[in-house]
Amino acid sequence: MVDVAGVGYAVAVPDPLAETSQLGAEVALSTHLAVREGEMSLYGFATLPEREIFRLLIGITGVGPRLALKVLSALSPASLARAILEEDVKTLTRIPGVGPRTARRLMLELSEKIAALAPGLPEHPTDGQEEAEAILVSLGCTRQEARQAVRQARESGGPGASVENLVMAAMQVLGQK
């Protein structure tokens, strides 16, 4: 419940915000008003990127405001972005109400949009990583397998490896599995 100039508003917020807010303390929220079938619901967020991610989430078929709040309660915007960009189905399916199908839908529909909203994450892989992943995919790997293999190859070979060396090292990583 938020008191604004003597008027109380019921505001649904992600769990981390609710847990850190103190009763009677002043709070600044970025809000989203959802109007559905004669019902108005107000959702509040600590930051603008959090609110924008909420809006992206509710724009996906099968994701309503309650599920979007669960997602933002379970993962920070940066963690959500990382899970989507790395196609980490396991992390996404740990969220109550998100099954494998919904996780794949989130990754498909948000992969391009969420990179711009998540602070501190590179939008595009660098140093030939993207090209190496594309080569591995063309050889029959899934995008997720290629991304993980290239990441492991980069860790063992250093960031200055050529695309060819990166692909060869990634293939060795895949061969060990």
Q: What is the pLDDT of residue 122?
A: 44
Residue 120 located in a structural domain: no
The reply to whether 69 and 141 lie within a common domain is: no
Q: pLDDT tens digit string along 11-35?
A: 888 888 877 777 878 888 888 988 8
Greater confidence (2 vs 122) lies with 2
6 and 74 housed in the same domain? yes
Nearest to 147 by CA among 88, 60, 70: 88
Look at the chain and report how many structural domains it folds into.
2
Looking at the structure, tell me whether residues 82 and 136 fall in a common domain.
no
Cα 161 to chain centroid distance, Å, stands at 29
The model carries a pTM of: 0.62
Task: List C-alpha distances in Å: 138 to 32, 46, 49, 58, 146.
Answer: 43, 42, 35, 34, 10
For residue 145, the domain's CATH number is 1.10.8
Tokens of 96: 């109550």
Q: Does the pLDDT of residue 124 top 50, yes or no? A: no
* Pairing verdict, β 2-4 and 11-12: unpaired
Report percent pLDDT > 70 for the chain: 89
* pLDDT at res. 75: 86
Which domain covers residue 140, as residue numbers?
129-176
Is residue 44 located within the same domain as residue 79? yes
Mean pLDDT of the chain: 82
3-class secondary structure, 6: coil
